[in-house]
Amino acid sequence: MTLDDLRVFVAVCRAGSLSAVARELGCTQSAVSQHVKRLERETGVALLERQPRGVVPTQAGRVLEAAAAEGISGLDLAVRQLRDLLDGDSGSVRVATGATTVRHFMSEAVVAYRRRHPRVNLEFRTVSSGRGSFDALADGTLDLAWITLGPPVRGIEQRPVVELPWVLAVRADDPLALRPYVDAGTDLADVRLIRLPPNSASAAHLDAACAESGVRFAHDTSVADWDTALLLAELGVGRAVVPALPGLRVPGDGDLRLVPVPGLRPLPVGWAVRRWEALSPPARAFADLVESCRTRP
């Protein structure tokens, strides 16, 4: 049983395909299969179940996958930390985020961090879901993920940084634009809204906040990110309830107006990591800098 055997096995479990892992590694499917067979011989149990469209881990396979992923992640982290100790203020920081997050939450911190740590490589990666971010943190391919905070996730630590109140984004000539605030239950009861990204944590949080207040919104448009919702509202295509993102002025500028919706529970956002105490020095410095830029007056 070698470290390569375990790496390949974890990759197969997550991809659900021997051929996909073979293509990624640039080897034959037979070579990938040999790694798995060696593990099965040494453990004495079947680790994968063959299905018409790939493979899935058996119960024993799931046990080994979890243990192997944990061990590989710890080893990779240790190697990166040793390199950081040797190199000093260098290395890399891998962050799961997107353009909206960088623009509204990290732009000041990124500029300051680059000045203070010119030799550190910042890598910003787009991950399609919170679950994907957690998996990438767990297997060590990411250091930090900026997320909408939610229920506890095993093996992941979440740290709140800021709570974002909700606002109604409308065009300046909208009848609701001059209101000092709107009540979700009365003013928006019959309003059709632009929906936040379906299946996103922010949309789920908004739905839960509405349920707490006995409110149910109707929607006629769906978007992939908050910035698109704001743009459509500014164009007069629709109205949107969105978080009051840093850098956006209330009541708004130009053709856009942002009207507070104080009755809804704010949206908590912040960092997710595998273990704070195990973060590399460059990653911890970046996380702390983003937090200080967001929380200071």
Q: Per-residue pLDDT tens for 257-271?
A: 999 999 899 999 999
Query: What CATH number did the domain enclosing 26 receive?
Result: 1.10.10.10
Q: What pLDDT sits at residue 250?
A: 62
Residue 92: its pLDDT value, please?
84
Based on the fold, state whether residues 243 and 287 are members of the same structural domain: no
* Of 71, 99, 121, the domain-final residue: 71
Q: Where in the sequence is the domain holding 20, given as residue range(s)?
A: 3-71
The count of other CB atoms within 10 Å of the CB of residue 3 is 11
Q: CATH number, domain at 281?
A: 3.40.190.10
Map 43-91 to HEC letters: HCCCCEEEECCEEEECHHHHHHHHHHHHHHHHHHHHHHHHHHHHHCCCE
Respond yes or no on whether the N-terminal peptide bond of residue 251 is cis (omega within 30° of 0).
yes
Shared domain check, 49 and 11:
yes
Domain tally, the chain:
3
DSSP state of 103: I
State whether 110 and 244 are in the same domain: no
Do 20 and 136 belong to one domain? no
Q: Is residue 35 part of a domain?
A: yes
Same domain, 30 and 63: yes
- Cβ-based neighbour number of residue 152 at 10 Å: 9
- Residue 192 φ then ψ, to 5°: -90, 130
Whether residue 78 is contained in a domain is answered as no
Residues 102-124: what's their mean pLDDT? 88
Same domain, 149 and 195: no
CA-to-CA distance for 121 and 280, rounded, in angstroms?
Answer: 13
Q: What residues does 160 pair with on adjacent strands? A: 270
Average pLDDT over residues 61-73: 89
Q: Within this chain, do residues 172 and 240 fall inside the same structural domain, yes or no? A: yes
Q: Mind listing the pLDDT tens digit for each residue in 83-101?
A: 665 554 667 899 988 667 8
Higher pLDDT, 192 or 90: 192
Q: What is the CATH number of the domain that holds 254?
A: 3.40.190.290
